[in-house]
């Protein structure tokens, strides 16, 4: 009984004492022992150290700098990356509006340390945070260099500099923030949805033209004054619609079709979340473009930079929803002409064997061989296999497809060794590149202009020219002089060609984020 009483008294004593590092602020009458800020502070000892170095002076006395920092926190809150930042921001706003400046100052400094840690950890854990799950309600202390840089910024009253240092520097980030600020003005506005029947083209009547104009204004798209006179869809308004369509990856023919209407009616609140999440994703994408290949999955496009200049771009086909192309980094180290396709186990089991069961000629017609091992010269006669009794998941052999025009890899494979067996390649299915949504592959990236890309690599990376026809059927692997970094990214909003670009969330990664918390 005595032991229980002792433990109870000890517990009550512990919970009544401010956390270690916060006693200093109670003693100098900044806060009371029961202040709510005590439980909010993530790094009490580090915060105490910062203020001791600053002679116990307030740090966030410049309100403009404080509001700038709150704006950065708001982006993270909108992105739904972590409930931790949402909680800290809510309390900061509460303390500010209540003029509780000592508590505001302590929490702002602690949250700045948390923000710096987040910025340092994002390149390491961002793929998980931005595509899979929120991070835990705790982050490790920022590095000692980060703490020292905060000391300097506090000493010279340049907190804006430290905010800039720990925000993305990649091109287009500032433009995304400008668009965010513009959209925020319309967040609470009751803008009517734009509705129409059928497809509208130049010369048609637009009964809801006013709503269309309001929706275009939401995106900052200017409309010629000559289009304001009546309800006719004229060529001047069509020019603005085409600009809108380009910004959403749509066919920019000026015809207002159901897909265009769908994008026109996306609420400002949803666009704000999209911008915030994708602005934060910029923390994990490459900044240097000296030599780099980027495939943006939602844009169904790849770009290649050499010596800092964009030298090639192409439409691509990416993985379908059931076989997603992963966010990843790898290196392109060689070009394979007339590649042999070693059929992945999953594709063999789920796709090919079921087709063979229905059509015994499928393997022969598609140039697919059965082997014990992929490098074996000796093949197994498919006629000797009792296909009707085969269990695909226990099939003891492997399959490979011979080189040629019907090979699934086409005439070129751009080799990017990685454990996931994801690479870039040509394809015989050229018609797929005419689609707006191009998520059809089993995970690899198919390049529309594969022949031109191969020529470019050979001329710049090998010093060799190949025939446009590439009729030689011999498989040949040509190593590049220097491997090229390849980044497969997932960005549904970005800034390009003077306009914020929006794309469909093909893998529901954005929706997953919006529904968190």
Q: Give the Cα separation of 460 and 480 in Å (integer).
A: 9
Active-site residue, from 182, 236, 248, 444: 444
Q: Is 236 an annotated catalytic residue?
A: no
Contacts of 249 (CB under 8 A, 6+ apart): 299, 300, 436, 501, 502, 503, 504
Neighbour count for residue 298 (Cβ, 10 Å) = 25
Contact in structure between 385 and 411 (CB atoms under 8 Å): no
Q: Give the Cα separation of 23 and 26 in Å (integer).
A: 5
139: which 2 tokens? Answer: 């982050």
Q: Give the Cα separation of 422 and 324 in Å (integer).
A: 10
Phi first, then psi, for residue 11 (nearest 5°) are -65, -45
122: which 2 tokens? Answer: 């994002």
Q: Give the Cα separation of 392 and 353 in Å (integer).
A: 6
Burial of 141 (0-12, 13-18, 19+ CB in 10 A): middle
Q: Give the Cα separation of 122 and 145 in Å (integer).
A: 17
Tokens 């790849």 locate to 302
Q: Give the Cα separation of 213 and 223 in Å (integer).
A: 8
Q: Is 487 an annotated catalytic residue?
A: no
Tokens 């909680």 locate to 87
The separation between CA 428 and the C-alpha centre of its own chain, rounded to angstroms, equals 29
What DSSP assignment string belongs to 472-490?
--S-EEEEEEEEEEEEEE-
Active-site residue, from 182, 236, 248, 425: 425
Helix 83-97, helix 101-131: angle, nearest 10? 160
Quote the DSSP letter at residue 433: G
Enzyme catalytic residues: 425, 444
């Amino acid at each position: 009984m005595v032991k229980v009483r002792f433990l109870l008294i000890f517990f009550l004593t512990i919970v009544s004492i401010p956390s270690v590092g916060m006693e200093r602020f109670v003693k100098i009458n900044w806060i009371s022992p029961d202040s709510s800020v005590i439980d909010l502070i993530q790094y009490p000892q580090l915060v105490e150290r910062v203020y001791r170095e600053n002679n116990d002076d307030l740090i966030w006395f410049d309100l403009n700098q404080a509001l700038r920092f709150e704006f950065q926190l708001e982006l993270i809150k909108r992105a739904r990356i972590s409930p931790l930042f949402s909680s800290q921001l809510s309390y900061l706003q509460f303390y500010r509006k209540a003029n509780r400046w000592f508590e505001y100052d302590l929490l702002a400094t602690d949250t700045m340390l948390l923000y710096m840690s987040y910025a340092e950890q994002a390149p390491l854990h961002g793929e998980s945070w931005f595509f899979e799950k929120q991070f835990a309600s705790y982050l490790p202390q920022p590095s000692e260099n980060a703490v020292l840089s905060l000391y300097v910024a506090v000493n010279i009253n340049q907190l804006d500099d430290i905010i800039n240092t720990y925000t993305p520097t990649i091109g287009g980030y500032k433009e995304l923030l400008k668009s965010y600020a513009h959209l925020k003005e319309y967040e609470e506005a009751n803008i009517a949805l734009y509705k129409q029947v059928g497809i509208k083209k130049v010369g048609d009547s637009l009964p809801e033209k006013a709503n269309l104009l309001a929706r275009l204004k939401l995106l900052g798209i200017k409309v010629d004054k000559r289009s304001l006179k009546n309800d006719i869809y004229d060529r001047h308004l069509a020019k603005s619609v085409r600009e809108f369509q380009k910004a959403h990856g749509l066919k920019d023919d000026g015809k207002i079709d159901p897909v265009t209407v769908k994008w026109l009616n996306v609420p400002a609140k949803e666009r704000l979340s999209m911008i915030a999440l994708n602005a934060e994703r910029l923390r994990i994408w490459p900044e240097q473009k000296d030599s780099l290949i980027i495939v943006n999955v939602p844009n169904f496009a790849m770009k290649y930079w050499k010596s800092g200049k964009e030298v090639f771009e192409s439409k691509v086909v990416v993985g379908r929803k059931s076989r997603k192309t992963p966010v990843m980094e790898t290196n392109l180290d060689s070009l394979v002409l007339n590649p042999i396709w070693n059929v992945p186990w999953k594709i063999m089991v789920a796709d090919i064997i079921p087709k063979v069961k229905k059509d015994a000629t499928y393997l022969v017609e598609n140039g697919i061989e059965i082997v014990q091992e992929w490098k074996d010269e000796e093949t197994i006669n498919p006629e000797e296999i009792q296909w009707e009794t085969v269990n695909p998941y226990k099939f003891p052999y492997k399959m490979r497809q011979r080189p040629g025009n019907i090979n699934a890899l086409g005439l070129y494979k751009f080799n990017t060794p990685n454990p996931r067996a994801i690479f870039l390649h040509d394809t015989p299915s050229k018609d797929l590149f005419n689609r707006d949504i191009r998520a059809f592959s089993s995970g690899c990236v198919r390049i529309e202009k594969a022949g031109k890309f191969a020529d470019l690599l050979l001329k710049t990376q090998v010093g060799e020219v190949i025939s446009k026809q590439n009729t030689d059927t011999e498989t040949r692997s040509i190593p590049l002089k220097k491997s090229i970094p390849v980044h497969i990214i997932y960005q549904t909003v970005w800034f390009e060609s003077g306009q914020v670009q929006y794309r469909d969330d093909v893998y529901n990664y954005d929706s997953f984020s919006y529904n968190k918390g």
